[in-house]
Amino acid sequence: MFYGTCSQLSESVNRLANVLLRHGVKRGSVVTIYMPVSPMAVAAMLACGRIGALHNVVFAGFSAEALAGRMIDCGSVALITADEGVRGGKRLRLKDTADAAVAKCGAAVKTVLVMKRTGASDVQMGPNEFYLEDEMAREAAECRPEMMNSEDTLFILYTSGSTGKPKGLAHSTAGYLTYASLTQKVVFDCRPGDVFGCVADIGWITGHSYVVYGPLVNGVTSVLFESTPTYPDPGRYWETVQRLGIHQFYGAPTAIRLLLRYGDEHVKKYDRSSLRTLASVGEPINHEAWQWFNDVVGDGRCDLVDTWWQTETGGVAIAPRPADEGSEIVSGKPMRPMLGMEPVLIDDKVKKQLVAFDYHRHIFLFRTKLSKETMRVERSASRLPGPASPGLSTATTSATLRPTSLPTPATTSPATAATGTNPATGRSPAGWTT
């Protein structure tokens, strides 16, 4: 177990940012991160933001083919990986997978930086490959942050590809940080001094928003979970809750259903009185799992929020909270759209709109990966005209906007926002722990 302070994180971010600069990474470059959940992985993400580079985090369980495809598609110039990963007591040969992926990329990937996770002695290092810790030791602990426009891209993240070819989604600097921090506060009832326990991998959008950026911007402690729900035993989650005093626990229905099968004893042997909010993400949660999560894990006293959202939204879009105090929460239902959202339900097969909706007042946007000075914005008003929108084109349209056509935005530094003092509260983040 490792406890990290904001000062330690800041030093790691600055040193790593200087390493990237020395190896030719600059503003607008894409850096792929293929690492286990760790403080160094968080530092790598923030170091990219500090110098204006875009990070492209790839889940460390993906194959060499999946990793290479994403690196080629986004034009990655550098890769940060680890010698090995450790999951459920097993060692995963990440560097071997990274080597196979880089070989498929040709000469595009200029630099490979390798974190010593296990210190494996048989790792093969090439001429443009360097151990990350050794490189960081050569650098100063201060790196001037690149000032970014609010609409500049902070990162690219690819969808899983489970329903088709993975899409590279781009999230902007100010808008993403604002939405991640806001939703973490109001959906999960996150307060100053809380310990936020999101057990997602940083390779997914959940890990980006609710392990890294949301907690750090809001100044709360974030838990990094590298293991599995059943190692060394099925009480691992709840032992972690007791040991760290976690206030919010955010996990996947698949894990909850798995733990339900092991019975109540692995839960009840640990003190879970610190918990205030339970939450699920990633798929619908069935009634039996919801009831067990609520009654056994939360003792029937915690808010249980089932959240619906996607990589495209960057943060929770539908959830039981926020709502009026005492508002009902129904088992297995996200229930309420986020502030300012008004969802529409459409049956695509029969071309029938199931809920009345004014398309003149609403337009859905998500950004794909950027190329040089242009950004592609997908505008999907609907494939169906609604009764409140006669004459509206039903085609999905796309537009290419140049940054010069946008209003002049305010400037902000994502790394400064994530690791420095919160200007809204005057407080520094409380740090993170694993």
* Under 8 Å between Cβ of 92 and 118: no
* Angle, vertex CA 395, rays to CA 394 and CA 396, nearest 5: 120
Task: Show the tokens assigned to 82.
Answer: 């680890």
* Backbone torsion region of residue 175, taken as left when φ is above 0, otherwise alpha when ψ lies between -120 and 50, otherwise beta: alpha
- The average pLDDT across 193-207 equals 97
Q: Sign of dihedral through CA atoms 143, 33, 12, 201?
A: positive
**340 confidence band (pLDDT: 50, 70, 90):** confident
Task: Show the tokens assigned to 65.
Answer: 């083919």
If we measure between CA atoms, which residue out of 291, 308, 295, 303 comes closest to residue 328?
303
Range of weakest confidence among 71-85, 113-127, 134-148, 351-365 = 351-365
- 203 CB-near residues (< 8 Å, 6+ apart): 57, 58, 59, 60, 61, 62
Q: Give per-residue pLDDT as tens, 28-81.
A: 999 999 999 999 999 999 999 999 999 999 999 999 999 999 999 999 999 999
Question: Residue 124 to residues 93, 114, 121, 377: CA-CA distances in angstroms?
Answer: 11, 11, 9, 42
- E strand or H helix that includes residue 66: helix 64-74
- The average pLDDT across 241-247 equals 98
Q: What is the pLDDT of residue 368?
A: 67
If we measure between CA atoms, which residue out of 316, 335, 66 comes closest to residue 209?
316
Cα end-to-end distance, the chain, whole Å: 6
pLDDT-above-90 percentage for the chain: 71
Range of weakest confidence among 117-131, 209-223, 313-327, 376-390 = 376-390
- The average pLDDT across 208-229 equals 96
- Which stretches does DSSP call E strand in 290-364? 303-306, 318-319, 336-337, 346-347, 352-353
Task: Check residues 123 and 424 and name the one with the higher pLDDT.
Answer: 123
Q: What is the pLDDT of residue 352?
A: 58
For the range 341-345, what are the long-range contacts, defined as Cβ-Cβ under 8 Å and sequence gap of 24 or more? 341/317, 343/317, 343/318, 344/382, 344/386
Task: Show the tokens assigned to 207.
Answer: 């890990």
- 429 CB-near residues (< 8 Å, 6+ apart): 6, 215, 216, 217, 218, 219, 220, 418, 419, 422
* Under 8 Å between Cβ of 76 and 107: no
User: What is the spatial distance between Cα 39 and Cα 426, in angstroms, rounded to a whole number?
Assistant: 24
Residue 413 pairs in a beta bridge with none
User: What is the spatial distance between Cα 139 and Cα 212, in angstroms, rounded to a whole number?
Assistant: 24
Range of weakest confidence among 7-11, 105-109, 153-157, 373-377 = 373-377
Q: What is the pLDDT of residue 161?
A: 77
Q: Domains in the chain, start-ordered, CATH in brackets? A: 3-146 (3.40.50.980), 170-337 (3.40.50.12780)
Q: Tell me whether residue 332 is exposed, middle or buried, using C-beta atoms within 10 angstroms of its C-beta: 0 to 12, 13 to 18, 19 or more.
A: middle
Q: What is the pLDDT of residue 245?
A: 98
Q: Give per-residue pLDDT as tens, 370-416.
A: 543 333 434 333 343 343 222 222 222 222 222 223 233 334 444 44
Using only C-alpha atoms, the chain has a radius of gyration, in whole angstroms, of: 22
Is residue 309 pLDDT above 50, yes or no? yes
Kindly write down the DSSP assignment for every residue of 272-292, as one continuous string: -TT--EEEE-SSPPPHHHHHH
Question: Residue 163 to residues 13, 71, 136, 317, 366: CA-CA distances in angstroms?
Answer: 35, 20, 39, 20, 18
